[in-house]
Homo-oligomer: A and B are copies of this chain.
Amino acid sequence: MTIQSGIQPQAATAFGALYAEVQQFYAHQMQLLDRGECERWAATFTEDASFAVPTLPDPVVGRAGLVAATSRSTVQLAEAGQRHRHFIGMFDVVERPDGALDVRSYAIVYASQTGGESRVHRVCVCEDVLVRVDGALQVSTRRVSRDDLA
C-alpha cells in the first residue's frame, strides 16, 4: 500500500507509531486513576508536573500533591457508592521540534451509582504537554477545562 500522505512513508510510519503510543499511554493512565491506583497514576506525570483544573485557584504541582488529591476523591467515591470512568479520546497530537508533544483531547467522565443509574458526569477538554523521561512518555503539564463552567 502506498497510501501515505504527501509526506514520506517513513514519516507516516513514525507518526503511526507515536499516535498508538500516545493512545496506549492515556488508556493506561486513566485506567490507573479509575482503579484508585493513585501512586502509579501519579508516576505517569513528571516529578515537577503541573495539573490545573478550573475548580482550584492554583495548579497542583508535583506527584505528592497529585496522589493526595486523587486519593481523597477515591475515598469519597467509594463512600458514596459511586464509580467514575474517565473516557479520553479525540487526540489532536502535534510534535514540537524538541520532541515534546502537545496533545489536546476530550475526556468524558461517567458516573454510576451502585444499584442505580449511569450518566454523563463531566465533559472536559484536556490540554497536555507530554515529554519523554527515560524513554517513556510522561505528562509535564495538564490543563483541564469543563464545558459546564464558563
* Chain A residues within CB distance 8 Å of chain B: 1-7, 9, 11-21, 23-28, 30-31, 83, 85, 87-93, 95, 99, 104-106, 108, 110, 112-123, 125, 132, 134-137, 146-150
Task: Establish whether residues A14 and B24, one from each chain, have CB atoms under 8 Å apart when the complex forms.
Answer: no
Q: Which residues of chain B are within 8 angstroms of A123 by Cβ–Cβ distance?
A: 83, 85, 110, 112, 118
Q: How far is the CA of A120 from the CA of B2 in the complex (A)?
A: 29
For the complex, would chain A's binding face be called helix, strand, loop or mixed by DSSP majority? Answer: mixed
Task: Establish whether residues A147 and B85, one from each chain, have CB atoms under 8 Å apart when the complex forms.
Answer: yes
Q: How far is the CA of A113 from the CA of B90 in the complex (A)?
A: 21
Minimum distance in angstroms from A147 CB to a CB of chain B: 4
Which of B87, B95, B115 touches A89 (beta carbons < 8 Å)? B87
Q: How far is the CA of A118 from the CA of B16 in the complex (A)?
A: 33
Minimum distance in angstroms from A5 CB to a CB of chain B: 4
Task: Establish whether residues A2 and B148, one from each chain, have CB atoms under 8 Å apart when the complex forms.
Answer: no
Task: Establish whether residues B28 and A92, one from each chain, have CB atoms under 8 Å apart when the complex forms.
Answer: yes
Given contacts A9-B14, A15-B20, A90-B89, contact A2 B137 (CB under 8 A): yes
